[in-house]
Structure formats: structure tokens, C-alpha cells
């Protein structure tokens, strides 16, 4: 589905310019709300009951969360789409799930477009709910990965981007420090003697 008229294209641009940031804001807020029960509490449990260190608990939790996200939002939905879409293979369904949750969305596979499907409207709503929940899970996984990287000191290991003093001063809105005046170079002593020895 794509707009054909000029008005439809303008509406699509405005709708996407407003809708995409708002959707990402809502999904990010939902992922941050889930960080407590899904990430912080399991980390404390692994440290207290499992005897893990902070870094070890973070690695174990990340591996477990990655397995759960892969199972619930890639492997199992792909099997469901493969069963519901007669012309899709399992690889086609897995490809659709990954491309959709990666926000690439090429549009070459669209569920619910085959004629004669029962409860097509409900099916479309279920697909939309799956995509929203899947994007939230991907954001949660990304935030957990960032937390693990911080625990291992990976951001601190990256070299900072050095900026020239003039560029940094321009960004901060202040004047660049004036360069220190150089001392005037004096000619060598032997040269001065040579000047004095010239017959005038």
C-alpha cells in the first residue's frame, strides 16, 4: 500500500514525521519501565542466590534475555506465520519477523493479504500488536546490552574524540584562547660579532 496522489504523499510525510518519533518515544519509555522487573531484579537475584559477580550476572542475564527474545519474537512467531500464510516457508516467515523488528520493513512480505483468510481484521490487529511488543523487546535488549558494556568498561575504553580548541570554543560559544606570543628570535652570537666586525 502506497499513496498515489500528491495530497496523499504530503499527508504520509507529515504523518510519518510526527508518528515515528512519537512511537519511538512511547516504545523507549515502555522499555525503560521494564528495565526494573526484567533486568535489575534478575541481576540482584543472580548475585544474591546464584553467587554471581556483577559482571557474571550481567552476562548470564543477557544470554537468557537474548534466548527469550529470539524464541518469543522470532522463532515462534515465524512458525505461526508459516502456518497461517500458505505461500510462506519457514525461512520466509523468519525473514519477515527479522526485517520487521529491525525496522527495515522492505514490504516484500505482508501478512494477511491472501484472499479468503478468515478473521482478517483480527489477524491484522494481532500482527500490529506483535510488532509493537517485538520492537519494545528489541529496545529492552539493546538497553541491557548497553548496561553490560558499561559494566565491562567498554565505553571508557574507546578513545575520546579530540576537537581543535577553535572548534570547541566555537561550539561552546566562547572565544578561542589567543595564542601565546612568540619570543623574537635573536641572531646567533657569532653572527652579531660578524656584523660588528664589518669595516664602516
Q: How far is CA 7 from CA 2, 13, 29, in A?
A: 12, 10, 33
Residues contacting residue 149 through CB under 8 Å, at least 6 positions apart: 155
Asked whether 169 and 176 are in contact (CB, 8 A), the reply is: yes
Q: For residue 96, what are the contacts with CB-CB under 8 A and spacing of at least 6?
A: 78, 81, 88, 109, 111
d(C-alpha 140, C-alpha 36), whole Å: 11
**All structural domains of the chain with their residue ranges:** 6-156
pLDDT in tens, 112-160: 777 777 788 888 899 999 998 998 888 888 888 887 777 666 554 445 5
pLDDT (tens digit per residue) in 5-57: 888 888 888 888 888 888 888 888 888 888 778 778 888 888 888 777 877 88
For domain 6-156, give the CATH number.
1.10.287.70
Question: How many whole angstroms separate alpha carbon 195 and alpha carbon 98?
Answer: 83
Structure-block grid coordinates of residue 62: 543477557
> Phi then psi for 47, rounded to 5 degrees?
-75, -40
**What pLDDT, on the 0 to 100 scale, is given for residue 166?**
62
Which set of grid coordinates corresponds to residue 90?
519457514
With beta carbons less than 8 A apart as the criterion, state whether 148 and 58 touch: yes
What's the whole-model pTM score? 0.63
- C-alpha span between 143 and 53 (Å, rounded): 20
Amino acid at each position: 500500500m502506497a499513496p498515489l496522489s500528491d495530497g496523499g504523499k504530503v499527508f504520509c510525510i507529515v504523518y510519518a514525521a510526527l508518528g515515528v518519533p512519537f512511537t519511538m518515544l512511547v516504545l523507549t519509555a515502555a522499555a525503560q519501565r521494564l528495565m526494573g522487573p526484567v533486568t535489575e531484579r534478575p541481576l540482584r537475584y543472580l548475585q544474591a542466590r546464584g553467587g554471581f559477580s556483577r559482571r557474571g550476572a550481567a552476562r548470564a542475564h543477557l544470554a537468557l534475555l537474548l534466548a527469550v527474545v529470539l524464541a518469543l519474537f522470532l522463532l515462534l512467531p515465524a512458525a505461526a506465520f508459516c502456518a497461517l500464510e500458505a505461500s510462506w516457508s519457514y525461512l520466509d516467515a523468519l525473514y519477515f519477523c527479522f526485517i520487521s523488528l529491525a525496522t527495515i520493513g522492505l514490504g516484500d512480505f505482508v501478512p494477511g493479504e491472501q484472499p479468503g483468510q478468515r478473521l482478517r481484521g483480527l489477524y491484522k490487529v494481532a500482527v500490529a500488536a506483535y510488532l509493537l511488543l517485538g520492537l519494545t523487546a528489541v529496545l529492552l535488549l539493546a538497553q541491557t546490552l548497553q548496561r553490560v558494556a558499561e559494566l565491562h568498561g567498554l565505553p571508557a575504553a574507546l578513545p575520546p574524540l579530540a576537537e581543535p580548541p577553535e572548534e570547541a570554543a566555537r561550539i561552546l560559544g566562547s572565544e578561542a584562547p589567543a595564542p601565546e606570543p612568540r619570543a623574537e628570535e635573536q641572531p646567533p652570537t657569532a653572527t652579531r660579532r660578524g656584523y660588528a666586525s664589518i669595516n664602516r
